[in-house]
Structure 1
């Protein structure tokens, strides 16, 4: 069964699913700057558009375009900026 999640006044929307081996979400992030928290390890792949991300413990911002992926440890937070509507696929461990 799919479940729809909405964050930041509807500017981030995702659909949760059970992947072949891990739970996952697919979603869209509207232009803006956001801070996300994790409860599990996340591997996020940008499908379309781009995200500029500041990972936990880093002062640097790194841009991830379509096809790029990054990992975030469990029980942390990270910042992300989108300049255009950006689609992603994220798995949770």
Structure 2
């Protein structure tokens, strides 16, 4: 069953689904700066566009483009910003 999620007044939207092995979401983040929280370990892969993130424990922002991934631990928060609509796939463990 698909579940639609909406965050930040509609500036980030995703659709949750079950892959063959892990739960996942696919979504789009509109231009802006946001702070996301996690409940599970997440692997986020940028599908289109670019996402600049400040990961937990890091002092430097890193930019990830199409095809690039990063991990976020469970029970953590991270900052993300983008200048263009950016699509992503996120899997949860």
Identify the TM-score tier after normalising by the shorter chain: over 0.9
Q: CA deviation at 1:59?
A: 1.0
Instruction: In structure 2, list runs of 5 or more residues that go unmatched.
Output: none
- Could you state the TM-score of these two structures normalised by the residue count of structure 1? 0.99
Q: CA deviation at 1:51?
A: 0.2
* Matching residue of 2:43: 43
1:24-39 matched pairs, under 5 angstroms = 24-39=24-39
Aligned mates of 2:59, 2:30 — CA distance in 1: 23
CA RMSD in angstroms comes to 0.3
Q: Deviations over 1:20-76 (max 9, x none)?
A: 100000000000000000000000000000000000011110000000000000000
- Could you state the TM-score of these two structures normalised by the residue count of structure 2? 0.99
Aligned mates of 2:50, 2:20 — CA distance in 1: 26
Instruction: In structure 1, list runs of 5 or more residues that go unmatched.
Output: none
* Matching residue of 1:91: 91
